[in-house]
Structure 1
Amino acid sequence: MPWTLRVPLLADESLSSWLTRAALRQGCDPLALTGAIWPGWRVWTRDVDRDIPPTRLRPLVKESGIPAPEFQQAALRGDCERINGHPLPEHGTWPWLLALGARNRARHGGQQCCPLCLDQDAAPYFRRAWRLSWHVGCPLHGVLLTDACPACQAPIEPHRLVAEDQHLSQCSRCRFDWRNIACTPLASDTLRFQQHADEVLQANPIFLGDKGVSTTEWFAASSFLLGVVRRASRYPASALAHTLRSLGIPVTDSLLPVTGLPFELLPVSERSALLTAVQRVLDIGLDEVFEAFRRNEVMATALHDPRIPPPGVIRSMMTNGSTHQKNPRSSLPLGHQPKSERAVRAAWARLKRRMKTETS
């Protein structure tokens, strides 16, 4: 029998947000609600925003009264598979989707929000778009998104709220209300990349410079450019870094995430800085940037890991003489060597990130 208190899906609402709101509306904890819908299925140990398996949809449709196509449209799998150009596995990190870093019901991260949007909502809720890794700011309010509680630094975990909390705009650990925080202005270059990526996800045809490309090719090229910026920041004295700086593209230590984690696991401030640099590359144009690489004798192996081939649209520029080709040098193992300061700092930062997670 459907619930007496109906809870409709709101515009661009994520599945985890809706499940949490539905639970609070019924006067119970999210864990209790999902346990009643799916006895024996630990839904909060997975990333439910990706999708709800078809076999699990029937009881949810029966209880909520919402048609299955609405839940399927709210899931992120379709957009992520359009970006990547192939079916995605059930487990593991999906490119361009923020990773939750789940351990039981606890999270390392993966959720972010705009406090000003939550403040304006009649019923605060989380948007699907906030789970996409290139979303770092709110275009409506022009501010950087928040990805941790400013009061206790805990990850955003609305699914761990309890019935007494009543709304989603608060920390599940310290109960601080995020609608009261001061926000950081969003850089214009970062916003332009975000808006362009949103258009690429929906539009056809798509151009990268003067070349027509698919959605998958555009995102693959952008991912490649993120890697180039990160490599240049790691080696600030290299020809690659010198070339980017000469073009007015920022290359500093602040663009090199201390943790060395994939883009989908980085905090919003680090993703914002990287996207600003990539937008500068796109503004200049790939042809001009690769011509500058050629003039400064930047090796192709300086741009990417030789074991991972670049996307086709980039590979064509590299093989057309824009960069020097060089076989990677093999070297004998050096045995046990002291780790560099950077490696130690990265390991320490990753450990602190894990320590933020509470065990269930």
Structure 2
Amino acid sequence: MPWALSVPLLPEESLSSWLVRAALRQGCDPLSLTGATWPTWRIWTRDIDREIPIERMHPLVKVSGISCAEFKKAGMRDDCEKVAGYPIPGTRTWPWLLALGSRNRTRHGGQQVCTLCLGEDSTPYLRRQWRFAWHTGCRFHGVQLIDECPVCKAPIEPHRLSAEDQHLAQCSRCHNDFRKAVCTSPSPEAFRFQVMADHVFEQYTVTFRQASITPADWFSMMAFFMTVIRRAGRRPASPMANALLSLGISVTDCRMPVSGLAFELLPVSERCALLAAVECLLSIGLEETFSALVACNVKTSALHDPRKSPPVMLLPLLSRLSHHPHGPHRRRALPAHRPMSERAVRASWARLKRRMKAEPSS
């Protein structure tokens, strides 16, 4: 039987946002609505923004009156495969898409919002573009996105709202209204990277060193540069860190990630720091960047994992660096009571804090 009240998809709305709004519109919580639609499928244990499997589509089309084509367009798969450049399996982190870090119905992160956009909406809803990992600011209001409740610091989890909450612009834990949050300015460098990445994403080909490359090739290069910066951050006294410092990029910045988590799992503040560093490299220019690496005697093995091939477009530049072949790494046996390094302790603490955010305090 169709729902009593129809709920159309709004422009650029994510699938999870629409499902939450549909539930609140019918006067029930999201878990009840999806349980009635799919009695044997626990939809909120997965990232439904990616896509609704075709075999699960028919019951939703029947009750909502929205076509399969519209639901498919609202999913993220086509966009993410354009960025990745290959078909993505459904059981792994998708490149450049924020990961929710799901455990049952709880989330560690992955959702971010612009509070000013929510405040201007007649019906607050979440945009698909906010799930892209390179988005750290709002392109309309010029403010930084938030990825946690400003009051209780809980992850943004609209699927855990109840029928009494009426709209999704609030925290599911403390019910603080996000539209009342104080906005902050985004990192100028990270915001410039976002504008650049959005432009690349909208194109079919991009010009790089007088050659046409695909958007997937461009994003692959950006991921490579982020890896270089993070590897330098693990060894702040290395030649690679010195080369970056000579270019004005500090890998010991307190905002840089220390947890070792994948880029798609990082909070917005840490992603800002990484994207700002990459944007600085791009503004300096690849020729000057690789000249600094050569001057500091950086080896190609320091830039990337030798088991993974670097982007083909960078091979001519990488050939300028000297190569230091080495055999397979052997893990050194540590003494039984050797203390952990400061960096290892900080990384463990950062990961623990992320897990603690997903559970309400007792």
Alignment of 1:219-258 (within 5 A): 219-258=219-258
For residues 286-307 of structure 1, what are the alpha-carbon distances to aligned partners after superposition, in whole Å with 9 as ceiling and x for unaligned? 2221122112211111211222
Partner SS, residue 212 of structure 1: strand
* 1:85 shift after superposition: 1.3
TM-fit CA distance, 1:317: 1.8
- The 4+ residue runs of structure 1 with deviation greater than 6 A are none
Name the residue aligned to 1:67.
67
What residue in structure 2 maps to residue 54 of structure 1? 54
One-letter amino acid matched to 1:246: S
Q: Is the 8 A contact 2:256 2:273 kept in 1?
A: no
8 A contact 1:109–1:155 mirrored in 2: yes
Contact 1:24 1:166 in 2 (8 A): yes
* Compared CA separation, residues 279 and 333, structure 1 to 2 (3 A): closer
What is the number of equivalent residue pairs in this alignment? 357
The equivalences for 1:17-32 within 5 A come to 17-32=17-32
User: Matches of 2:10 and 2:286 in 1, distance apart?
Assistant: 40
Q: 1:324 aligns with which of 322, 325, 337?
A: 322
Moved more, 343-352 or 46-55: 343-352
1:99–1:265 contact (8 Å) kept in structure 2: yes
1:340: Cα distance to partner?
A: 1.2
Structure 1 residues 314-339: Cα deviation after superposition (integer angstroms, max 9, x where no partner): 223212x2x11111355654312432
Q: 1:139 to 1:112 in 2, by over 3 A?
A: same
Q: Given the alignment, which residue of 316, 334, 337 partners 1:336?
A: 334
Query: CA distance change for structure 1 residues 330 and 62 in 2, over 3 Å: closer, same or farther?
Result: closer
- Normalising by structure 1, we get a TM-score of 0.95
Spell out the pairing of 1:173-322 with structure 2 (5 A cutoff). 173-319=173-319, 321=320
The aligned residue for residue 102 of structure 1 is: 102
Paired with 1:328 and 1:340, the residues of 2 have a C-alpha distance of: 25
Q: Which amino acid aligns with 1:83?
A: V
Contact 1:254–1:270 under 8 Å retained in 2: no
**Match of residue 77 from structure 2:** 77
- Taking structure 2 as the reference length, the TM-score comes to 0.95
Shift in CA distance, 211/250, structure 1 to aligned 2, threshold 3 Å: farther
Shift of 1:283: 1.4
SS at match of 1:40: coil
State the one-letter code of the partner of 1:64. Answer: S
What is the CA distance between 1:90 and its match in structure 2? 1.4
Matched residues in 1 for 2:275 and 2:346: separation?
Answer: 23
Cα distance between partner residues in 1 of 2:349 and 2:236: 22
Deviates further, 52-61 or 302-311 = 302-311
Determine the structure 2 residue equivalent to 1:159.
Answer: 159
2:354 aligns with 353
* Structure 2 unmatched ranges of 5 or more: none
RMSD: 1.5
- SS of 2:212's equivalent in the other structure is strand
Kindly state the Cα deviation for residue 209 of structure 1 after the two structures are TM-superposed: 4.4
Q: 1:62 to 1:341 in 2, by over 3 A?
A: same
Unpaired runs of 5+ residues, structure 1, are none
* Code of the aligned partner of 2:135: H
Q: Is the 8 A contact 1:235 1:241 kept in 2?
A: yes
2:40 & 2:330 partners in 1: Cα distance?
52
Secondary structure of 1:70's counterpart equals helix
Flag the 1:298–1:51 CA change in 2: closer, same or farther, 3 A. same
Mapping 1:35-54, distance limit 5 Å: 35-54=35-54
Contact 1:234 1:256 in 2 (8 A): no
Contact kept? 1:112, 1:130, Cα under 8 Å: yes
Which digits, 9 at most, give the CA deviation of each residue in 1:115-159, with x for residues without a partner?
111111111111101111001111111111100111111110000
Alpha carbons of 1:3 and 1:12: their partners in 2 closer, same or farther (altered >3 Å)?
Answer: same
Aligned counterparts of 2:235 and 2:253: Cα–Cα separation in 1: 9
- Name the residue aligned to 1:92: 92
Q: Aligned letter for 1:43?
A: I
